């Protein structure tokens, strides 16, 4: 867990949600997340647990994922579609993209 995340979470009670990131080649990520940051057609989006349901286009961008255990991961997205389902549905958040490349 990163120091910044530890400090931030000591002041809050962040909840996790189910996230699935998929490409035509298969799932790039499937698990629990605290946060997902992407760029939609209208600008930057930050998705936390309990976000209002919606669907939007995602433009090619660099994205950031914070997994439920606090691990921060960056990846590039070739554009696609982001769907936030009502709470309780699984997965609650889906990112479908033509290309996903996680950084080492």
Question: Omega of the bond prior to 91 within 30 degrees of 0, cis?
Answer: yes
Q: Which residue has the higher pLDDT, 3 or 37?
A: 37
Q: What is the pLDDT of residue 28?
A: 98
Q: What is the pLDDT of residue 81?
A: 98
pLDDT tens-digit readout, 86-95: 877 778 999 9
Helix (H, G, I), strand (E, B) or coil at 85: coil
**What's the domain range around 78?**
3-102
Per-residue buried b or exposed e for 31-59, using 16+ beta carbons within 10 Å of the residue's own CB:
eebbbbebbeeeeebebebebeeeeeebe
CATH number at residue 30: 2.60.15.10
Q: What is the pLDDT of residue 88?
A: 78
Give dist(CA 36, CA 7) in Å, integer: 19
Helix residue ranges per DSSP H, the chain: 3-9
Q: What is the pLDDT of residue 53?
A: 94
Q: What is the pLDDT of residue 1?
A: 44
Q: What is the pLDDT of residue 8?
A: 46
pLDDT tens-digit readout, 9-64: 444 567 999 999 999 999 999 999 999 999 999 999 999 998 999 999 999 999 99
- Domains contained in the chain, number: 1
Read off the pLDDT band of 82 (50, 70, 90): very high
């Amino acid at each position: 867990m990163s120091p910044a995340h530890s400090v931030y979470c000591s002041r809050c009670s962040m909840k996790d949600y189910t996230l699935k990131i998929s490409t035509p080649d298969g799932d790039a990520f499937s698990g629990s997340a605290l946060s997902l940051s992407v760029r939609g057609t209208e600008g930057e989006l930050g998705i936390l647990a309990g976000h209002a349901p919606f669907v939007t286009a995602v433009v090619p961008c660099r994205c950031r994922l914070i997994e439920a255990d606090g691990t921060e991961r960056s990846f590039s997205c070739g554009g696609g579609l982001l769907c936030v389902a009502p709470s309780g549905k699984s997965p609650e958040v889906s990112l479908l993209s033509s290309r996903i490349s996680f950084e080492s």
